């Protein structure tokens, strides 16, 4: 049995081969070549596809418990939200039913009082549903275009409302569309009534509020006005029906150099996001015309012989 050469060297079968440094350099260069080749020619893409296909069932099984937990939590949260929304809707419906009953009672009392006092009946208001198409192109005004016009018998000056209150007024009527000036436009003025005190005033669009606010002008510093007061249409202008929500007072500034206060208001209508609106016929179209005064008789001219 050959245990080694006489000089003490190991047999050829125990030759360690290249040094570790040479192996490191070789495999490092090989790795770089393979990475470059894969990046340029996608050599390992078929292998990756095969491995991904083989591992897909395992990944699907591992993900199922997590997805089931997410779906169950989402289902429970959605169920809780649906129950809370349903309860809120039932409460709102109950309040609306109560208000409807109160409105019916008030309308009956109002009709009886009108008959008792000999006043005329309230006007029947004709409305037309419309949709906001787009904002007007003029950047210095606050106007929108609706999809109703002369074909639907819209008239100039008709009030426009959304589900929250007065949105504006029709200022131009075309055959198929109409232009509506919003309540926040500086050129639009609405006679309003303070629902708490019954004081009448005029609300204008506030140009200093970024195009989204209103102001109550010509109110003295000692006027009974508070933050949170609701302003409704007064109906004395012959255009807006009375009692429609217009704005709510948000801030009051008393100025020492002026006899009037600066009163800021927030419109009740969605002046920046209204989509569906109704156009109300102006109440002046249903009012009886003012009787014309009889012209005074011309004095008879005296003749020469008189």
Do both 193 and 93 map to the same domain? no
Do both 165 and 98 map to the same domain? no
Domain count of the fold of the chain? 2
Residue 145 has pLDDT above 80, yes or no: yes
| pTM of the complete model beyond 0.75 | no
Measured in whole angstroms, the distance separating CA 253 from the mean position of its chain's CA atoms is: 28
Lowest-pLDDT choice from 72-81, 115-124, 127-136, 270-279: 115-124
Q: Is residue 57 part of a domain?
A: yes
Q: Is residue 292 part of a domain?
A: no
**What mean pLDDT value characterizes the chain?**
80
Do both 265 and 216 map to the same domain? yes
Do both 33 and 110 map to the same domain? yes
Do both 53 and 147 map to the same domain? no
pLDDT in tens, 23-62: 888 888 888 888 887 788 777 788 878 888 888 888 888 8
- Contact at 8 Å (CB) between 241 and 280? yes
Return the SS3 of 247: strand
Do both 39 and 99 map to the same domain? yes
Lowest-pLDDT choice from 54-58, 165-169, 223-227: 54-58
φ and ψ of 212, to 5 deg: -125, 10
Q: Is residue 5 part of a domain?
A: no
Do both 151 and 251 map to the same domain? yes
CATH number at residue 259: 2.40.10.340
Q: Could you give the maximum distance between any two Cα atoms of the chain, in Å? A: 179
Do both 75 and 215 map to the same domain? no
Q: Is residue 140 part of a domain?
A: yes
Contacts for 118 with CB less than 8 Å, ≥ 6 apart: none
Q: Is residue 295 part of a domain?
A: no
Smallest Cα–Cα separation from 221: which of 263, 266, 264, 265? Answer: 263
Measured in whole angstroms, the distance separating CA 104 from the mean position of its chain's CA atoms is: 31
Q: Please tell me the number of Cα atoms within 13 Å of 237 on its side-chain side.
A: 22
Q: What is the pLDDT of residue 6?
A: 52
Q: pLDDT category, 303, cuts 50, 70, 90?
A: very low
Element (H, E) at 88: helix 45-117
Element (H, E) at 26: helix 20-41
- Domain range enclosing 53: 25-121
Q: Is residue 94 part of a domain?
A: yes
């Amino acid at each position: 049995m050959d245990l080694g050469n006489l000089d003490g060297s190991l047999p050829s079968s125990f030759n360690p081969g290249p040094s570790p440094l040479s192996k490191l350099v070789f495999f490092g260069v090989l790795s770089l070549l393979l990475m470059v080749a894969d990046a340029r020619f996608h050599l390992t893409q078929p292998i990756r596809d095969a491995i991904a296909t083989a591992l897909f069932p395992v990944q699907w099984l591992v993900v199922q418990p997590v997805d089931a937990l997410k779906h169950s939590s989402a289902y429970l949260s959605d169920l809780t939200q649906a129950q809370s929304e349903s309860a809120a809707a039932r409460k709102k419906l109950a309040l609306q039913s109560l208000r409807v009953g109160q409105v019916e009672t008030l309308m009956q009392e109002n009709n009886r009082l009108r008959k008792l006092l000999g006043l005329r009946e309230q006007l029947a208001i004709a409305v037309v549903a419309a949709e906001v198409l787009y904002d007007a192109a003029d950047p210095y005004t606050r106007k929108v275009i609706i999809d109703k016009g002369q074909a639907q018998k819209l008239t100039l000056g008709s009030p426009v409302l959304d589900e929250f209150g007065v949105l504006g007024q029709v200022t131009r009527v075309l055959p198929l569309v109409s232009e509506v000036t919003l309540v926040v436009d500086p050129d639009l003025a609405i006679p309003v009534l303070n629902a708490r005190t019954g004081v009448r005033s005029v609300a204008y669009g506030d140009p200093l509020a970024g195009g989204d606010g209103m102001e109550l002008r010509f109110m003295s510093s000692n006027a009974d006005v508070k933050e949170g007061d609701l302003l409704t249409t007064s109906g004395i202008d012959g255009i807006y029906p009375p009692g429609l929500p217009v704005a709510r007072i948000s801030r009051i500034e008393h100025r020492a150099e002026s006899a009037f206060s600066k009163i800021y208001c927030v419109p009740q209508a969605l002046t920046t996001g209204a989509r569906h609106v109704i156009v109300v016929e102006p109440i002046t179209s249903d009012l009886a015309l003012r009787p014309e005064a009889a012209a005074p008789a011309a004095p008879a001219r005296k003749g020469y012989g008189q």
